[in-house]
Amino acid sequence: MLLPPANWLPQAPLELLQLDWLTNAGIEVAILRLDQIDPLISGNKWFKLTEHLKAADRAGAQGIISLGGAHSNHLHALAAAGKRLGFETVGLLRGHPQQTPTVEDLQAFGMQLHWLGYGGYRARHEPGFWEPWQAQFPNLHAVPEGGGGLAGALGCKALKEQVITQLNNLGWSDFHGWWLACGTGTTLAGLVLAEAGAHPVYGALAVPEDHGVAPQVEAIVQESGLAVADYAVFDASRGGFAKVDPVLLEFIESTERSSGVPLEPLYTGKALLALKQQVEAGRFEHGTRLIFVHTGGLQGRRGFSSCS
């Protein structure tokens, strides 16, 4: 049985984000602290896994096989869930064998690792990619990179309820939109499905636009049959995935000092900096209230010594 326990989706705190550049613009932001829901399986990864685990359980699978890089938050959460819930995990990794803090954790959690090289990893979207792996591991359920696809998005719909139940604690009766980092676009797609046009969802791309996040979101929305979708994406990659520069690092340091909220440079740091740029550009009117989703991933900070 791969089904999670009853407390699989603990409540994430929703709290006001106090920063000068928001106050000066008359913008209020509440941050959904998914980083605080679990010490290992934190962030949006809990939510993206739920429907995949249910599908694996229905198929009678004994575990999960999935993909990611040497700092992958998805594989880290998956391996931790496998260890905690007692199911087998296999990771197909981008590039060549290397030791990172994340990889060390994957091994400690019992995940079997296979390195695909870079060309082999690029082939993950090609027809027939999964066939040899499913032949080698017939008892495992294949999950897309990052826990993506419609199943991952459906699991993320629960984030809206996490926010709605806490609005009164902030003195809010409603809000005007969501802002979050996007790696595969799965969490954004889940919020788009949950909102069905009621509130816009803004995604800050942590990867370059040519990674195809927008088409992936559109494919999920179309597959779901949703009639009304209100979302937009903004380039926040700062030159490429995992590209880190002094401006970003300084912003993260000052923000953490001012707010007490820990960030990391691949997703949440880039997303919040992109929001600051849009606020200063006048995109949002005075009085706008936004929900910023802290998607977790703090374990990935260990790969950046200046952020640890």
Catalytic residue among 72, 224, 258, 308: 72
Indicate the burial class of 281 (C-beta count within 10 angstroms; 0-12, 13-18, 19 or more): exposed
Structure tokens of 207?
């990867």
CA distances from 160 to 45, 87, 185, 187, 254 (A): 15, 29, 16, 11, 29
Q: Give me the helices (H) in the chain, please.
A: 20-25, 45-58, 73-85, 101-108, 117-122, 131-136, 149-156, 158-164, 167-170, 186-195, 213-224, 246-259, 268-280
Rounded to an integer, what distance in angstroms lies between the CA atom of residue 149 and that of residue 66?
Answer: 12
CB 115 within 8 A of CB 75: no
Residue 305 a catalytic site member: no
Structure tokens of 189?
């797609």
Amino acid at 298: L
Structure tokens of 184?
């595969």
Which are the catalytic amino acids?
Answer: 72
